Amino acid sequence: MNQNLVKDKIVIIDFGSQVTKLIARRVREYSVFTEILTLKDLKKNNVFKNAKGIILSGGPSTVTKNLFPKIPKEVFDLNIPILGICYGLQLIAKHFKGKVKPNTKKREFGRAILFKSKNSLLTKGFFNKSKCAVWMSHQDSVYKIPNGFLKIASTNESAMTIIENRKKNIYGIQFHPEVTHTENGNIIFKNFIFDICKAKKQWKLESEKTRIINEIKNTVKKAKVICALSGGVDSSVVALLIHKAIGKNLKCIMVDTGLMRKDEFKSTYQIFTNKYKLNVKIIDASKIYFRKLKNIIDPEKKRKIIGNLFIKIFETEAKTFKDVKFLAQGTLYPDIIESRSATGSKTSKIKSHHNVGGLPKKMNLKLIEPLKELFKDEVRELGDAIGLVKNISRKHPFPGPGLAIRIVGSITPKKVKILQEADYIFIQQLIKNNLYDKIWQAYAALLPVKTVGVMGDSRTYEYICLIRAIVSEDGMTADYFSFPKTFLDEISSKIINGVKGINRVVYDITSKPPSTIELE
């Protein structure tokens, strides 16, 4: 039996907040399965089957207008506990005849101090002596308490920051317990899922592993599967899982674009063929990539060229395999959430991310996406559970277009070589200093500017190397990592002394937003 159908879950209804995914993660950290649904999904049958609780997320809309996104009113009568966060709270207040209005004088944004008024099951163990620092991001506030509700806590700016209707098991909070800036935010989730919803801990990666492998076996049967292997965490876990399920019927293709990190392509190939005995075909396409990218400066053009070329090469190669019916992809849960809109509005495209999305339609293949319910850190853990070597399961994310989007301006094999060397030194130093695992993503980039330097008694005129290291939870937002000065000194001198072609090293100290993680 598919365990997916029987395990307790918490349903999160997404109203478009940037941090909805974090709600799902917080709940899963307590080993309870979560599913994020859009309003459109609610029209399907049985969406609340096995739901022990419902969380209404935040979002950019306002209930103070005539039209606003809402859940069908029957959801409030399902007898399933509900927790509304930010917009979710305002929706609850509106539904139960409370009053909400925009605070025209001041938005409450950032840190706020919350004061306790009453005890509640939701806040057991949450306050430190009746106070707590929480993270707010709202303009609208509930100013008249809805019928049947009690006030549990408030801040100076908003009176109804936490409200509850104990009898109906409906709770609302104005702040965001899912972000780490809220002190003890996880306790709110713990109380909600266990004390209020009585959900059981049934989400374990160990049992997921068996479920996923069995599901692959049942879906694929005796057919053949192809998979693009890059050596990143996602494609490596996908390849290993499928190999465990169907053995030699999996064929992996590795396309060498010439834009990978130093030695990475070779070492990935060796690990997968020698250690795991996978069937891997390697294609050296670096010459075509360099030819097509010659003199291309525009980042979007680079991305399109790389993406389209990848699809063409992969498609040609795949045709040489007989009886292939499936294409395996490392789609993750956040990819699925991000590719659909919560409320029907379109967000503006910042960058076109390279993936092999065009392939299945073109090639008439069915998709298998074994990781589509998992977050990145869950994939890493799953990798560990199936014996993936740690230096792959702990690897930082690496973008599909590779070093092409880390060399600002035109790309040449010489620049790639210079960058590979600098990047290698940087990453090795991070590992040596036990910093690699503390950082979400780190890399070196090459800026298309030459500046003057002096080495020995000679003048130099070389490129600038930019180093970037960020901490993040999901890549959507990021802060730069604070290195000790000694580490920065060491990196600068090792790169300049070790790499011919670079005479200046700069550290990128921008967060995301306003900048992005990659340079292009």
Which residues carry out catalysis? 86, 176, 178
Range in contact with ligand XMP (rule: CB under 6 A) among 2-10, 77-85, 365-373, 395-403: 395-403
Least Å from the CB of residue 370 to ligand XMP = 18
Q: Does 441 bind ligand XMP (CB under 6 A)?
A: yes
| 183 or 518: CB nearest ligand XMP | 518
The reply to whether 148 sits near ligand XMP by the rule CB under 6 A is: no
- Rounded to a whole number of angstroms, the minimum distance from the CB of residue 434 to ligand XMP is 22
Work out whether 512 is an interface residue with ligand XMP (CB under 6 A). yes
- Out of 148, 357, 360, 397, the residue judged to bind ligand XMP by CB under 6 A: 397
Question: What residue spans of 294-354 are helical by DSSP H?
Answer: 299-319, 333-338
Q: Tell which one of 401, 420, 444, 505 touches ligand XMP (CB under 6 A).
A: 401
Collect all residues with Cβ–Cβ distance below 8 Å to 151 and sequence separation of at least 6: 117, 118, 145, 159, 160, 162, 163
State the nearest-atom distance from the C-beta of 451 to ligand XMP, in Å: 25
Query: How near is the Cβ of 47 to ligand XMP at its closest, in Å?
Result: 30
Instruction: Give the separation between CA 143 and CA 99, rounded to whole angstroms.
Output: 6
Q: How many CB atoms lie within 10 A of CB 481?
A: 20
When the beta carbons of 15 and 436 are compared against ligand XMP, the nearer one is: 436
Q: What span, in angstroms and rounded, lies between the C-alpha atoms of 250 and 252?
A: 7
State which of positions 333-372 bind ligand XMP (CB under 6 A): 351, 353-354
What is the CB neighbour count within 10 angstroms for residue 222? Answer: 8
Cβ 509 to ligand XMP, closest distance in Å? Answer: 16
CA nearest 98: which of 154, 160, 142? 142
Task: Classify strands 140-144 and 502-507 as parallel, antiparallel or unpaired.
Answer: unpaired
In whole angstroms, how close is the CB of 345 to ligand XMP at the nearest point? Answer: 20
Residue 138 or 354 having the CB closest to ligand XMP: 354
Regarding 516 and contact with ligand XMP (CB under 6 A), the answer is: yes
Helix (H) or strand (E) holding 89: helix 87-95
CA distance 438 to 456: 36
Please report, to the nearest 10 degrees, the dihedral formed by the alpha carbons of residues 446, 450, 452, 454 taken in order. 40
By CB atoms closer than 10 A (0-12, 13-18, 19+), residue 430 is buried
Residue 475 lies near ligand XMP (rule: CB under 6 A):
yes
Specify the residue, 93 or 442, whose C-beta has the smaller distance to ligand XMP. 442
Decide the pairing of beta strands 9-13 and 51-56.
Answer: parallel
CB-side neighbour CA atoms (13 Å) of 18: 9
Beta strand ranges found along 177-306 (DSSP E):
224-228, 250-256, 279-284
Question: Could you tell me the smallest distance in angstroms from the CB atom of residue 231 to ligand XMP?
Answer: 13
Residues 249-308 that bind ligand XMP (CB under 6 A): 303
* 211-240 binders of ligand XMP (CB under 6 A): none
Total residues in contact with ligand XMP, by rule CB under 6 A? 14
Asked if 31 touches ligand XMP (CB under 6 A), the answer is: no
Q: Which residues contact 348 (CB under 8 A, 6 or more apart)?
A: none
Nearer to ligand XMP, 373 or 473 (CB): 473
User: Which residues would be at the binding site for ligand XMP (CB under 6 A)?
Assistant: 303, 351, 353-354, 397, 399-401, 441, 475, 512, 516-518
